[in-house]
Amino acid sequence: MKKRRLVLVNPHPIGNVGEENVSVLNQMPVNLGYLIALTPEHWEVDIIDETTELAVDGNNELTFSGADLVGITSVSYQAPRAYLIADACRKKGIPVVMGGVHATIYPHEVAKHVDAVVIREAISVWDKLISDFEQGRLQKFYDGGLTPLENLKIVYPDRGFMKGKYKYRYSGITTTAGCPFSCEFCSVPQFQGRKYRERPIEDVLDELETIKGQYRGLVLTDENFYGHSKKSNERVKSLFKGMVDRGIYQNWFGFTSLNIYKDDETLDYMVRSGCVGVLIGIESLSKDALESMNKHVNLRITIDRYYEAIKNIRKHGIAVWGTFIFGNDTDTRETFDDVADFILDSNLDIMTCGILCPFINTPLYKRLDTENRLFRNNFPEDWVYYTSHHLVYILNRLSLQELVEGMEALYERLYSTEVIRKRFQNSRSVLDNMNSAMFALKVNWDWRHVFKHMLDNLKNLQSSGVYDVALERIGKKERFDESSSLIATKI
């Protein structure tokens, strides 16, 4: 019997420059790896990752043929491209299924463009969807719910096919999911739930064994692998100890919060298992800003302890990667210099940043919408701006000009070749771990390009006049004060 053919697509809006352009982050879409693993044997599966090859050409025609079914993953900024691909497929009579973060948070919009929408996680429903499709009774919505993570033992993502096709050097692995906090800007609790779900560590270790030595680096896809309770902290220590005991040395990095800094034992196992860096959402140095973000996880530690925390993590040979958000309602012209001073004084190994982004249906989105401040809300087209590298709402205390100047100042202070070289020297000597120092250097180096793009996005917004129209719409003006700098009047 001729096999049916499923084509899975990771869409990428042409010209977008983002974290996918950082070499040590650009990795295979693990979510599609789960679908490959879950698809029955009598199907043949192919994948198109548009960060490497297009699924639709300049004439909006498909670049591939012979598919019986197409599956597309998408976060919000990818949605317009996903719809373009879906339209091209359906024009050729090929049914389309869409899943992932955007489909989970905004399923009814997605449903207008595809034949079936998978909400939440695929693992518990993919079998049924395929069997429904084979019997000609595909439904419009499938809700996979939040998978108990013990189930991941039965299914590991099939990375082999993707690696064979695109020669990815990096991959990801899930060890936990969900977050009990509710930061105003964050969409994670919405699609992963507020319960912190933990995978049994033996399963994680077994999965790690299957890919040992195959990748230059692994990303733990968890929002916070360390967790928020003593029990979770103990579990994670056993995980990294398990890696050491089982000889699974693997360069990896992951996302966590500053509360890990006092746990010397875990940090020690981390570096011994191959950890090169931890990404921590520092977000802001202002208590007011953290309060307005509802970022309790940082407020609990207190801003005064940031220096101590960074120093202690670095002492273990792990690079600290801090992320910051600009454009907060409390930000002023001084914010940018304060952040640059902090980064240089604390010797943070890596700093990346974004502009506050109201992802759909987050409390931030709802607030800015109620305040009538969103000006990129012609959906679905405007989803392309929801990357955190564009400004999509009217600023509060800053003017757009001040945001541009502040970002330019940051760039000059942190990303000149000379400064990057000095920061690398510091990482090399303090971390005393070449893998971590090189990791930091690579991110900083590639981030220059991403940062420049973010700046260009802001300047293009300025010259387009769109921001001025938005200001006029709500009767807010920008004016020159006596010292000739632009200041914004408060709403």
Give the DSSP letter string of 6-62. Answer: EEEEE---TT--SGGGSTTT----HHHHHHHHHS-TTEEEEEEETTTS-SB-TTS-B
Burial (Cβ within 10 Å: 0-12, 13-18, ≥19) of residue 463: exposed
Peptide bond into 95 cis (omega under 30): no
Identity (one letter) of the amino acid at 238? Answer: S
Residue of closest CB approach to ligand B12? 99
Please provide the size of the chain in residues: 491
Residues in contact with ligand SF4, total (CB under 6 A)?
Answer: 10
Q: Structure tokens of 491?
A: 């709403």
Of residues 290 through 319, those in contact with ligand SF4 by CB under 6 A are 297
Window 214-233: residues binding ligand SF4 (CB under 6 A): 223
Q: Of residues 29, 33, 100, 189, which one binds ligand SF4 by CB under 6 A?
A: 189
186 vs 404, beta carbon nearer ligand SF4: 186
For the CB of residue 108, give the shortest distance to ligand B12 in the complex, in Å. 16
Instruction: Select from ligand SF4, ligand B12, none the partner in contact with residue 181, using the beta carbon and a kind-dependent cut-off of 5 to 8 Å.
Output: ligand SF4
Residues 142-181 that bind ligand SF4 (CB under 6 A): 179, 181
Give the residue, chosen from 281, 317, 327, 406, that forms a contact with ligand SF4 under the rule CB under 6 A.
281
- Residue 281: name its binding partner from ligand SF4, ligand B12, none (Cβ under 5 to 8 Å by kind): ligand SF4
Alpha-carbon span 161 to 183, nearest angstrom: 37
Q: Which does 121 bind (CB under 5 to 8 A by kind): ligand SF4, ligand B12, none?
A: ligand B12
Is 470 near ligand SF4 (CB under 6 A)?
A: no
67's CB contacts (< 8 A; 6+ apart) are 5, 6, 7, 46, 89, 94
Which among 3-11, 183-191, 200-208, 394-402 is the span making contact with ligand SF4, rule CB under 6 A? 183-191
CB of 397 to ligand SF4, least distance (A): 23
The angle, 0 to 180 degrees and rounded to 10, between the axes of the packed helices 201-211 and 230-245 is 30
Q: Which of 427, 410, 281 is nearest to 349 (CA)?
A: 427
Residue 160 CB, nearest approach to ligand SF4 (Å): 30
Q: Which is nearer to ligand SF4, 182 or 426 (CB)?
A: 182
Alpha carbon 278 to chain centroid, angstroms: 14
Give the separation between CA 284 and CA 197, rounded to whole angstroms.
Answer: 28
User: What is the H or E stretch that residue 172 is in?
Assistant: strand 170-173
- 321/342 with CB nearer ligand B12: 321
Nearest approach in angstroms of CB 71 to ligand SF4 is: 26
> What secondary structure does DSSP assign to 190-252, as a single string?
HHH-SS-EE--HHHHHHHHHHHTTS-SEEEE--S-SS-SSHHHHHHHHHHHHHHHHTT----E
Tokens coding 466: 């769109």
Establish if 488 lies at the interface with ligand SF4 (CB under 6 A).
Answer: no
The site partner of 179 among ligand B12, ligand SF4, none (C-beta below 5 to 8 Å per kind) is: ligand SF4
> Phi, psi at residue 106, to the nearest 5°?
-135, 55
- The site for ligand B12 (CB under 6 A) is made up of 12, 18-20, 25, 27, 29-31, 34-35, 51, 71-73, 75-77, 97-102, 118, 121-123, 172, 174, 186-188, 192, 219, 221, 223, 354, 359, 386-389
Residue 183 within binding range of ligand SF4, rule CB under 6 A: yes
83 DSSP 8-state letter: H
Residues that bind ligand SF4 (CB under 6 A): 179, 181-183, 186, 188-189, 223, 281, 297
